[in-house]
Structure 1
Amino acid sequence: MAQKIHRESLKKAKRIVVKAGSKVLVESSGRPDKQQLKQLVDELAALRNGGGEVAFVSSGAVGAGLDALGMKTRPKAMPDLQMAAAVGQIRLMSVYDELFSQNKCRIGQVLLTHDALKHRERHLNARNTLLNLIEHGIVPIINENDTISTEEIKFGDNDVLAALVAILIDADALVLLSTTDGLRDAGNERVSYIEEVDDEILALVSDKQDKLSTGGMASKLKSAQIAAQNGIPVVIANGRKTGALTRIFEGEDEGTLLFPKEGNISKRKRWIAFFNRVEGHVVVDDGAAEAMIKGKSLLPVGIKAVEGSFKVGAMVDVQSREGEHIARGLVEYSSDEIEILKGQKTAGKAGEVIHHDNMVIL
């Protein structure tokens, strides 16, 4: 019954983020699959022209570039990947412009890096740009800026990017399109509904590396969990199945649905928890863990160990001695300073390693 109610609630979703992976969008050579792209664009445009607000996260630029450059496999060298992205992005966007125009929809290109979203001012600028495009009826087509990204500032794959975009613009729903119709159980049956992504769910996944794409079902599930933790329902579905996207927002049993539990966090704490890269860890005792869960700041006296090298203002994970993730927050001291302060009793705000306003309990 709960699943049916949650499925029905998707009919009311107005602001929607849809992500399509490379294998959904391109042929095996990497060349954009024009017939497949038309099918998908027609459905996206129908949602937009029906009164919805649509943002589209598109992979495929590197694959399209590899085809244009005559490269048969995905290169490992970053300059070659950046070159392929630069060539392929033009190809892909020209196809989108043509197909959306046929549906009387305007598009705008937005290229993002993780580095941009972790800085608060640029984070807000990206949000305002996307919302302004949507407000004016323009469909943002979003991709990672692969032409300038390095390993240190990459999202990892576009599943993560899609989840962060959904959080960034307060989406009502996120759809991650793959080439399978959702998660499969041990008997190879589609899993229609999951409540959370835990080790048991992840154990069902067996991803294989593909020459054109970097994501997989495990990536989609973990990204879905990020969105769900921020109150956004997520459906993982088959992007090559005609009408799949339409059926999802008609409330039908399509793909695998992860529906969020009750509870939400402020926009600032969303930024802290999900848009910053973890640069280190601190291990705390049981007393500190209990105090943090009750809304207290982390003090040096409760810290047992420091792992990693980081500066003031870095994002760190707070873990128990058993390795359980308790919280995530921005530190008031460097790793070297915390190493000196750990275990010591301090008084007042000057002693707080992570202030509760800069902390998210996980």
Structure 2
Amino acid sequence: MASKPLTIVIKLGTSSIVDENTHEPILSILTLIVETAAKLHRDGHNVVLVSSGAVGVGLRRMDIEERPKHLPRIQALAAVGQCRLMSLWDGLFSHLRLPVAQILLTRNDIADRTQYLNAQNTFAQLFDMGVIPIVNENDTLAVSEIKFGDNDTLSAITAAMVKADYLFLMTDVDCLYTANPRHNPDAKPIEVVTDISSLEADVSSAGSSLGTGGMSTKIVAAKLGTSAGVTTIITKSSKPGNVHEIVRYLQQTEQLDLGSEESSGSPDLPTPPPLHTRFIPSETPIQSRSFWLLHGLKPRGTLYIDHGAYSALQKKAGLLPAGVLGVDGHFGQQEAVRLVVVEKISPDALNGEFLHHGQEPKEVGRALVNYGSSEIIRIKGQRSTHIQSLLGYADSEYVALRENISFTQNNDSPRH
């Protein structure tokens, strides 16, 4: 039985590919990564690299010892380093006759739905052409408001965008442990995680002096990836060949599972793979548009809604102004907002202070709104038939259409 083609995203942090002290590219690791990507490509899989390292390489190129704190300086170094980094990748892949493409992203690039779909189409065309996309955050333009935060998050969003089967987060340890294995000899590896919310692991590992990520950001990325149906795997960055071995093992295991359903025999078990932590994807993954609403957009404010409105939304109704209790923030039409369920507003509440009878208000999702914050403040709690008289116009009877609302997972009840 032939293995099905997969889409595999491999995320590499700065510390994985750039020496923390000398800032020189670690050519041995880079070469192994290229060889691994080539093997996966030869097996018929689509491969995406999410590569940090532009600032680190820029430091070396400009003979600067420490990462500066001044943002324009960091952006300038990223501009210098990105050229060198892509030249390195292109040169190494060219030895194996594999073309690569550079894709630089910020949140602004995917905040517009059309641009998000365009990015998806670009990836699809690159795969058709046999090209390996190399993705990085556009550090020359990114400021805090439009940054993904770190490339772990960017890799998860990329994996969802390309509908990846696997997302590999390369790090300086083999896998997650119940405690820090460097300090605790009783630390046990965590090989499979079926429920991230109940995960008990040591995530104290911080990022390097060059990078921004640590183990906690990988857990966040795993939550994003698995919510979109992507199997997310943490494994050791200094052994990139692990990726190919793990993929082959998982494919062989899947084939054995399928074969055992058709045969009563006992086939040979595949060789166990290198140590890694595998996060099992959600059985009910978020669809592409919902994922974009939740994670592609930066919320500009908050709408506080009552339980009646929340129940109606779950039954596929839109958000009517009568169900809106309060507004926080300043935002315009077609901007994203958080949806928070609360009990009620006290009569003398000021600045969004809600009575919730011991229950903390909980964010349950995101929405693209049909009206700006100033308009919603005027129509909240009112019937839709009153919108015209209150505003002088009525673009829609809904504050947000149901198709423009997405719930976070595990939110069947905001009281959980």
Q: Same fold (TM over 0.5)?
A: yes
The aligned counterpart of 2:15 is 23
| Equivalent residue runs for 1:225-244 within 5 Å | 225-241=223-239, 243-244=241-242
Shift of 1:312: 0.9
Deviations 1:182-232 (A, max 9, x none): 22213532211112332x537732242432001111111111211211111
Unaligned regions of 5+ residues in structure 2, if any?
180-185, 250-272, 343-359, 388-394, 409-416
The aligned counterpart of 1:254 is 275
The answer to whether the aligner puts 1:119 opposite 2:112 as a matched pair is yes
The aligned counterpart of 1:314 is 335
**Counterpart residue identity of residue 235, structure 2:** A
| Equivalent residue runs for 1:111-260 within 5 Å | 111-186=104-179, 187-198=186-197, 200-201=198-199, 204-241=202-239, 243-251=241-249, 252=273, 254-260=275-281
Unaligned regions of 5+ residues in structure 1, if any?
1-10
Shift of 1:268: 2.6
TM score, norm. by length of structure 2: 0.80
**Counterpart residue identity of residue 230, structure 2:** I
Shift of 1:242: 5.0
**Counterpart residue identity of residue 351, structure 1:** E
Shift of 1:320: 1.8
CA distance in 1, matches of 2:396, 2:88: 56
Q: Specify the SS of the correspondent of 1:249.
A: helix
Does the 8 Å contact 2:5/2:46 carry over to 1?
no
Deviations 1:92-117 (A, max 9, x none): 12221221122221111111221111
TM score, norm. by length of structure 1: 0.91
Does the 8 Å contact 1:19/1:176 carry over to 2?
yes
The answer to whether the aligner puts 1:357 opposite 2:406 as a matched pair is no
The aligned counterpart of 1:303 is 324
Does the 8 Å contact 1:59/1:143 carry over to 2?
yes
Does the 8 Å contact 2:228/2:282 carry over to 1?
no
Q: Specify the SS of the correspondent of 2:275.
A: coil
**Counterpart residue identity of residue 84, structure 2:** R
The aligned counterpart of 1:277 is 298
- Picking from 60, 64, 68, the partner of 2:53 is 60
CA distance in 1, matches of 2:86, 2:12: 14
Deviations 1:266-307 (A, max 9, x none): 433332222111111112222222222222212222222222
**Counterpart residue identity of residue 329, structure 1:** A
Higher relative contact order (CA 8 A, sep 6+): 1
Does the 8 Å contact 1:247/1:254 carry over to 2?
no
Does the 8 Å contact 1:284/1:304 carry over to 2?
yes
- Picking from 313, 330, 335, the partner of 2:368 is 330
The aligned counterpart of 2:30 is 37
The aligned counterpart of 2:378 is 340
Does the 8 Å contact 1:316/1:329 carry over to 2?
yes
Does the 8 Å contact 1:110/1:142 carry over to 2?
yes
**Counterpart residue identity of residue 192, structure 1:** E
Q: Over the residues paired in the alignment, what is the CA RMSD in angstroms?
A: 2.0
CA distance in 2, matches of 1:323, 1:183: 32
Aligned length: 351
The answer to whether the aligner puts 1:110 opposite 2:103 as a matched pair is yes
Q: Percent identity?
A: 36
| Equivalent residue runs for 1:90-109 within 5 Å | 90-109=83-102
Does the 8 Å contact 1:202/1:218 carry over to 2?
no
Q: Specify the SS of the correspondent of 1:351.
A: coil
